[in-house]
Amino acid sequence: MDLTKVAVFGTRHILAEAPLYAGQEPVYDEWFRGEHFSWYSTGKLEEALAQGLDVYVVSIRPVFGRQDQWWLKLVGDGRAYNARRSLAAAMAGGDAMEAVYEPWKLFFGRLGVPWPENTFTDFDDPAIWLASRHGVRDGSMFRGHTYWC
41: three-class secondary structure by DSSP: strand
Confidence bin at 133 (pLDDT 50/70/90): very low
Tell me, yes or no, whether 92 lies in a domain.
yes
Mean pLDDT of 20-26: 93
In a domain? residue 82: yes
The overall average pLDDT reported for the chain is: 76
CA separation for the pair 135, 6 (Å, rounded) = 9
Within 8 A by CB and 6+ apart from 78, the residues are: 110
* Domain that residue 56 falls in: 3-14+43-134
For the ranges 43-52, 65-74, 112-121, the lowest mean pLDDT is seen at: 112-121
Does 55 map to a domain?
A: yes
Residue 86 lies in a domain: yes
- Is the residue at 143 inside a domain? no
Q: Establish if 24 belongs to a structural domain.
A: no
Predicted TM-score (pTM) of the model is 0.75
Question: pLDDT at position 91, please?
Answer: 60
Asked if residue 128 is part of any domain, the answer here is yes
Number of independent structural domains in the chain: 1
Within a domain: 30: no
